[in-house]
Amino acid sequence: MNPTTISPAQTKEQFWRQRLAEQAASGLSITRWCRKYRYAYSLYYYWKHTLAKRDETIIAATRAKAADSRSEQCVPFAQVVIDPSIPPSAIHSTTNGTAIEIVLSASCVVRVGAGFDAHDLTRVLDVLEARTC
């Protein structure tokens, strides 16, 4: 196929992607390749720049979509700090040996003892999440 012929099935983008690949595979400099196939340097560089920008946009959109997808699937992690000033006996003194302290900020702490109602705790956390502590 003559490098300057665009078949009806090809778009300009497909045509120029193929030309850029041919130039890269040829081992010729862009200048020599353009001379050999009689392309204007400005046209070659225009398409090289245009296609690179399109590819960057597609990559950025794909990454953003993947990040959105990951954020929907991920469970957030919370920092757990064991306070050394609380004796282990105080922690295990609850009925089933579990106690939870959730520190939302310096002035907002939620302490949950054993036997808590998960539904009530969820409602409390929803309310706290909706406001700034």
Looking up tokens 């992607």 gives 17
Asked whether residue 82 is domain-assigned, the answer is no
Asked whether residue 120 is domain-assigned, the answer is yes
pLDDT of the chain along its 133 residues, tens only? 455 666 665 688 888 989 999 999 999 999 999 999 999 999 999 999 998 888 888 888 888 777 766 655 555 556 666 666 666 555 544 445 566 777 766 666 777 776 777 777 777 777 776 665 4
pLDDT at 110: 75
Asked whether residue 2 is domain-assigned, the answer is no
Instruction: Identify whether residues 65 and 111 lie together within a single domain.
Output: no
Number of independent structural domains in the chain: 2
CB atoms within 10 A of CB 22: 13
Q: Give the domain extent around 101.
A: 88-130
Instruction: Identify whether residues 67 and 113 lie together within a single domain.
Output: no
pLDDT at 45: 92
pLDDT at 99: 67
Instruction: Identify whether residues 69 and 103 lie together within a single domain.
Output: no
Instruction: Identify whether residues 126 and 92 lie together within a single domain.
Output: yes
Contact of 103 with 133, CB cutoff 8 Å: no
Instruction: Identify whether residues 60 and 96 lie together within a single domain.
Output: no
pLDDT at 111: 77
Final residue of a structural domain among 42, 73, 104: 73
Instruction: Identify whether residues 60 and 105 lie together within a single domain.
Output: no
Asked whether residue 104 is domain-assigned, the answer is yes
pLDDT at 132: 52
Instruction: Identify whether residues 66 and 112 lie together within a single domain.
Output: no
pLDDT at 117: 74
| Residue 58: HSE in the Cβ half-sphere, 13 Å Cα cutoff | 6
